[in-house]
Amino acid sequence: MHTASAPGKVYLFGEHAVVYGEPAIPCAVERRATVTVEERSDGRLRVDAQDLHIEGFTVEYGETGPAVDAPKAVLEAATEYVDGAIAQVRDAADAPGAGFDVTIESDIPLGAGLGSSAAVVVASIAAATSELGVELDPREVAERAYQVELNVQDGQASRADTFCSAMGGAVRVEGDDCRTIDAPDLPFVIGFDGGSGDTGKLVAGVRELREQYDFAADTVAAIGDVVREGETLLAESQGGATVDDDVLTELGQLMNFDHGLLEALGVSSRSLDDMVWTAREAGAHGAKLTGAGGGGCIVALDRSDGTETALSYEAACQEVFRAELAHEGVRLE
């Protein structure tokens, strides 16, 4: 039996635009998916996901496909992504007939912009390859996990979520160019509306707008400009050191700008906007949605208790928590 865990992430800047080759800066946060894998002799795959921040369920499936009546998004999370991860494992270990019992536990809300699917895929690949006696380095896990996301998201995915979860810390992704970067520990506050968005649909919506209107394409490009500006700021602020208030103020301003551009691209929602405004009015340096949008989480920067307290009274917000930068990416437990 082998267990691996991998962190979720927030986007400091750049979601959606990263799908079109603009840079993005996601940061891994200390909320992890933990996957335990045990090889089984009959070549079947059994996925047990009792703790995904959703009502738990168990599904057993083989050649005939899954037979369970659960919401599509939930089923996809536990089957399509894990199924894809196991296909990668069979390929990596040259073991096409390998079967597994897979148990998933996660404290990352599903489909809420915190990279739950990437973390589950990354941890599944690491745990199952170890179970077969194959050690992959985190970059190879990231590459294989990306292939899974690409497939599940109909060819529309960036490397950002999977690379960040595999490597940990802050990363910069621009097309195929993925690297870890030095970043200071930032005072992230996360607000969660209890919902989720459909990444595939949201990405497709931005693609359509971008094809229909030049100004939508310009909006995507403007997100890239915001990211480049933010990246310069981070580089100047010396990674690892405590960041000073001037830098937080400017980072926050750039996050606000990014949120406005994402809002214009139609990927925000009433509850995300409500949480963003509550955070700003409570004194956050800045706030934006994180991930695909449509519902789920916002991320704000605030060292004081103001944003946390205000979000805990905000009707649109179901849960609020602080998130530390996760310096470690995927790891065997």
Part of the chain binding ligand MEV (CB under 6 A), chosen from 84-92, 153-161, 184-192, 271-279: 153-161
In the complex with ligand MEV, which residue's Cβ is closer, 271 or 290? 290
Helix (H) or strand (E) holding 262: helix 245-264
Examine residue 299 and tell whether it contacts ligand MEV (CB under 6 A).
Answer: no
Q: Which helix (H) or strand (E) holds 92?
A: helix 80-92
Residue 156 makes CB contacts below 8 A (sequence gap 6+) with 19, 150, 200, 203, 204, 207
| 15 contributes a contact to ligand MEV by CB under 6 A | yes
Q: d(Cα 26, Cα 290) in Å, to the nearest integer?
A: 9
What mask of x and - would describe binding to ligand MEV in positions 157 to 176, judged by CB under 6 A? xx-xx---------------
Smallest separation, CB 32 to ligand MEV (Å): 17
Nearer to ligand MEV, 17 or 37 (CB): 17
Residue 109, φ and ψ in degrees, nearest 5: -55, 140
Nearer to ligand MEV, 4 or 160 (CB): 160
Q: Where are the alpha helices (DSSP H) in 134-244?
A: 138-152, 160-167, 199-212, 214-236
Q: Which of 4, 12, 19, 254 binds ligand MEV (CB under 6 A)?
A: 19
Identify the active-site residue in 94, 101, 161, 177: 161
Q: Which is nearer to ligand MEV, 282 or 292 (CB)?
A: 292
Q: Is 264 exposed, middle or buried (0-12, 13-18, 19+ CB in 10 A)?
A: middle
User: Could you say which of 4, 10, 12, 18 contacts ligand MEV (CB under 6 A)?
Assistant: 18
Q: Is 161 a catalytic residue?
A: yes
Instruction: Give the C-alpha separation, 15 to 262, whole Å.
Output: 9
Q: Nearest to residue 290, comparing CAs of 258, 319, 320?
A: 258
Which residues are near ligand MEV by CB under 6 A? 15-16, 18-19, 157-158, 160-161, 199, 203, 291-292
Residues designated catalytic: 161
